[in-house]
Amino acid sequence: MSTTPLSSGRSPFHKNFYVANTMEIFERLAWYGFFTLSSLYMTSPVSQGGLGLNDQERGFLQGMIPFLLYLLPVITGALADRYGYRRMFLIAFCIMCPAYFLLGQVHGFWSFCAAFLAVAIGAACFKPVVVGTIGRTTDDSNRGLGFGVFYTMVNVGGFLGPLVAGYVRAISWDMVFIMSSFWILLNFIPAIFLYKDGDHHEGGADQRGLRQVLLETQEVLGNGRLALLVVPAIIGIMIAAKGGISYSQYFMAMAGWLGINLVWSALNKSGRQQHWYQQGICIGNAQFVIYLLIMTGFWTIYNQLFITLPLYIRDFVDTTDLVLLIGKLSPSAVNFLASVNVEQLTTVLPGLAAKLGPFADTKLLEQLRLELVNYKVMPPLEQLQSGLQALHAGQISAAQLAANWSQAYRQVNPEYIVNLDFGVVVLLQIAISTYVQRWKALPVLVIGTLVLSLSLWMAGLSNALLFGGVSVSMAVFVFALGEMIASPKSQEYVAAIAPKRKTAMFMGYYFVSMALGNLFAGLLSGWSYTVLARQMHQPMLMWSLFGGIGVITSVALLVFNLRLKTVQSFTVAA
């Protein structure tokens, strides 16, 4: 289908472009409405409507499921090209709509894991199709603007989703999942009545089959023998994260597995190789694979905004200063941003008072504080002790104590502070991208990654500062700046190092770094939050770990780029 250029020389967007962006907003409303609150939901006590999981179980789920979500589009994208985008949209919504609802209905670890996996499969069906539609419905005259609009729509959904979800979770956790299911249900309307397959700009679908996808995987990433080495290692670390084996057992097993593979490759190094398992381990495009591994560090720290920061704010950051500031600016906004369910708080206080009794030590008080923060209040330890002991002695009623604490020590919902990131991106991304486009991708990517690391250290310091709420909000703002600087440039750099005429294919496999980043983000979050933050009471160590990963990633990018330039210069000279 041809288009008539506008007077500005820019082609108009096709109808499917607007339909796809609309569906992207609703899909992001559903995903971020759930995912931004997922850490809080999974670790909240059952008495408050949560799952009551520990942080290692949470980290396992938040690592494994998004890992699969970002890997599967390699397959689902090929299926969409073969069988049609509209059909794949409908399949995605048929999976996601009931899966989101089921997330709120199941209460066991494995049943929740199954529902979460279904959400991921549906999202993996949706993701390559909506991006593919944007690509098909734009051309050289408007592609940059088209993807800019699309990225903005992603963040519009990311901004509004947690706002709505945070509001309805004050009613019940079930409403969070009902709303996510509802957003997906709305997407059936444009998919059925407005989206038209084959009605795009020129340059129709490629007809790659799964065999071709696997051949491309060998060319870009590596052969089957490499997969045989890596896949068991990934499965093993998931088992270790769940507690099935210890990490020492895992590393011993992987050392043995690596040795077996190296010996097998050496034995089959010469001679005619009939089968894939007789081949030596072979990496596809080594430079690209190294870049993906380095960028895994970037996505590992990036995802902490969604999976670790909400818990950290809930458990360790006193946002009373932010409540007072909001109250001065807009008193009516306090009840929305820092809502407390007084009835639930009233119900739980007698049990906490009974645990405390007339005598208490600091360790017990800290345990009770970590239970109480699930109800969105954070009294100082001395006030916690005196209040619960007065309740235990019958000097004050549970209802009166709950009312007092809900006014004096209420906390801003963590999801609203995290949501500041989306709001800043929506407002400033175009301006930031315009400003940094004059520089090469690598230096900007390094600077953006270092800014992310700085923001994580700022978040860690907010635990010890007097104005904790304001300081952690500033950390999120700085994080958004780092994200806007680095994230677009990370993909631009792929175009710079990919072989000519294969840039699009390499861009597709770039998502492998995001998959691995999500995996390690979840696993590291679960371990570090359990051991460093809660057991050792040193959350700053946890944030230093993540900040250090960001610094190492930046240094690795610099070394990689220097090495790449050296190799290219040698090749040209030769």
CA 270/CA 249 separation, integer angstroms:
34
From residue 422, alpha-carbon distances to 317, 458, 516, 567 in Å are: 21, 19, 23, 39
Burial class (CB in 10 A: 0-12, 13-18, 19+), 147: middle
The reported pLDDT for the residue numbered 84 is 86
Query: What pLDDT is stored for residue 93 in this prediction?
Result: 97
Question: Would the pTM count as exceeding 0.85?
Answer: yes
Task: Give the Cα-Cα-Cα angle 24, 512, 302 (nearest 5 degrees).
Answer: 70
Q: Which amino acid is at 28?
A: R
Residue 209 C-alpha from the chain's centroid: 30
CA–CA separation, 567 and 115 (whole Å): 48
Contact 100, 34 (CB under 8 A): yes
Q: Is the dihedral of CA 100, 101, 102, 108 positive or negative?
A: positive
Residue whose pair of structure tokens reads 């052969």 in the numeric block: 223
Angle between helices 309-316 and 15-43 (to 10 degrees): 40
Q: According to DSSP H, which parts of 393-537 are helical?
A: 398-408, 414-418, 420-436, 441-461, 468-497, 503-509, 511-528
Distances (CA, A) of 503 to 86, 150, 202, 489, 496: 26, 20, 19, 15, 9
Question: Cα(93)–Cα(180) distance, rounded to whole angstroms?
Answer: 12
Residue type, 531: V
CA angle in degrees (0–180, nearest 5) for 523-527-528? 115
Contact (Cβ atoms closer than 8 angstroms) between residue 220 and residue 509: yes
What is the tens place of the pLDDT at every residue in 414-457?
999 999 999 998 898 888 887 887 888 888 899 999 999 999 99
Query: At 128, is the secondary structure helix, strand, or coil?
Result: helix
CB-based contact 442:298 (threshold 8 Å):
no
DSSP 198: T
Low-confidence ranges of the chain (pLDDT < 70): 1-11, 144, 198-214, 269-274, 495, 500-505, 565-574
- Yes or no: say if 561 and 442 are a contact pair by the CB < 8 Å rule: yes
pLDDT at 9: 54
User: Residues 538-573, buried b or exposed e (16+ Cβ, 10 A)?
Assistant: bbbebbbbbbebbeebbebbeebbeebeeeeeeeee
**Letter for the amino acid at 148?**
G
CA dihedral 247, 252, 253, 257 (to 10 degrees): 130
User: What span, in angstroms and rounded, lies between the C-alpha atoms of 294 and 493?
Assistant: 13
Rounded Cα gap, residues 446 and 448, in angstroms? 5
Nearest-angstrom CA–CA distance, 273 and 283: 17
Nearest Cα residue to 46 out of 96, 112, 119 = 112
Q: Which of 297, 303, 320, 308 is nearest to 468 (CA)?
A: 320
284's tokens: 């596809």
Distance separating alpha carbons of residues 106 and 115, to the nearest angstrom: 8
> Partners of 377 in the beta sheet?
410
Q: Closest Cα to residue 503, out of 512, 494, 511?
A: 494
Q: Which residues pair with 283 in a beta bridge?
A: 222
Helix 224-242 to helix 511-528 angle (10° resolution) is 20
DSSP state of 280: P
Nearest CA-CA partner of 282 in 325, 354, 219: 219
Backbone angles phi, psi at 31, to 5 degrees: -70, -55
